[in-house]
Structure 1
Amino acid sequence: MSKVCEYFFAPHSPFAYLGHDRFVAMAEKHQVQVIPKPFDLSKIFGVSGGLPLAKRAPQRQAYRLKELARWSEFLGKPMVLQPTHFPVNSDTAARMIIAVQLAQGSRAALELAGAFMRAVWEEQRNIADTDTLVAIANAQERDGATLLKSAETASVQAEFDRFTDEANAASVFGAPWFIYQGEGYWGQDRLDFVERAFARS
């Protein structure tokens, strides 16, 4: 079987942020090709029974913060638990990731995705703001203005919609979600299982 892993994520997801760098590193270690698939998490919540953060019960919201703090400390990964710009609409960021993937490949897309995630959870920047997105891309020595323009095209929107449809068809109900050799894994806390699957193949 081919060593290809589909990576479904939303750029604003705190758990995607916590797992992103580890996942990319383990894929490289095991020579697994990653196919980044940023998708519309809000639409998946709508069909899978999930709720956006603001609509969750208070005890669930409180426990989520404790889990984020535990994982941030455990991984040694800096994280602002309640950043200024969250919740945030990350659809344009997702489309820019798709645009760079189409133009420069998956590695470039993963690098930009990581930068957008850090912007939310380390730097408290607003990734719903297009000037911020352009500046982040420029800092990676990519043409942010061109990527933004590409992100607004019908072809990139079609890819974003396709990834969302694929997530729904694959019974994805959260982010991050990894599909490897037909098996799905939900969450950055399942990455040990993902790596075991990589190592066995």
Structure 2
Amino acid sequence: MAARIDYYFVPISPWAYLGAPRFNAMVEKYGVDVQVMPVDFGRIFSVSGGLPLAKRPPQRQAYRLMELKRWREHLDMPLVLQPKGFPMDSGLASRLIIAARMVSQKDALDLAYALGRAVWAEERNIADAEILEEIVTECGQDPAKLFAAADSATTQAAFEADTEKAIAAQVFGAPTYVLDGELFWGQDRLDFLERALQRRA
């Protein structure tokens, strides 16, 4: 039986972007049944003690930038430390990812990574519907179909239900990967997640 991972994140997370290539490769390598779930971290922070970036103490904000620089160099990935327009509303982007997963989880993973790259490597505003349409098209997906699905009550309900699942699973930060009820928080825990998958194989 294939391993199942619930993948909780937000499209504008730099850590989700940095982890995406390794996580996506892991999903393919181990034949993981992944559930791609962008969620509302505003609600999650309200019950877990987390703070949005702008409300964190200055020393935490400074250290975050230092860590982003370290990981950018370690992974040799393009990343602008303070991209234009960040943070931006990622609600529509999240619903587009949910719409994509209705086609396939691979489509959802591909779109999620493309959206992260758009923010952190290309400084594109993923709150802008026209830019989102460009990104969906660049992924080889159907923008008319995805936008229609993203605007549906079904997709909004799925977004809210996934956020409730995250809260119930005790998720508190992005990205979080949940395997067999065990949480792996952060792209810097992907090595531990892979070891768990190897033990399961």
TM > 0.5: yes
Tell me what 2:89 maps to.
89
Aligned residues with identical type, % of pairs = 54
Tell me what 1:14 maps to.
14
CA offsets, 1:23-71, max 9 Å, x none? 0101211221211011011111111100000001010100000000000
Q: TM-score, normalised by structure 1?
A: 0.97
Query: Could you tell me how far apart the structure 2 residues matched to 1:95 and 1:40 are?
Result: 11
Tell me what 1:26 maps to.
26
CA offsets, 1:48-102, max 9 Å, x none? 1000000010101000000000001001111000000201111110100000111
Q: TM-score, normalised by structure 2?
A: 0.97
Query: Could you tell me how far apart the structure 2 residues matched to 1:145 and 1:68 are?
Result: 35
Q: Which amino acid aligns with 2:163?
A: T
Written as runs of structure 1 = structure 2, the 5 A alignment for 1:92-131 is 92-102=92-102, 104-131=103-130
Q: Which amino acid aligns with 2:16?
A: A
Q: Which amino acid aligns with 2:55?
A: K
Shift of 1:2: 4.3
Matched pairs, number:
200
Q: Which amino acid aligns with 2:188?
A: D
Contact 2:114/2:135, CA 8 A, preserved across alignment: yes
Query: Could you tell me how far apart the structure 2 residues matched to 1:166 and 1:42 are?
Result: 14
Written as runs of structure 1 = structure 2, the 5 A alignment for 1:178-197 is 178-197=177-196
Tell me what 1:165 maps to.
164
Report which stretch shifted further, 116-125 or 131-140.
131-140
Contact 2:100/2:108, CA 8 A, preserved across alignment: yes
SS in 2 for 1:50: coil
Contact 1:2/1:181, CA 8 A, preserved across alignment: no
Is it true that 1:73 corresponds to 2:73 in the alignment?
Answer: yes
Tell me what 1:44 maps to.
44
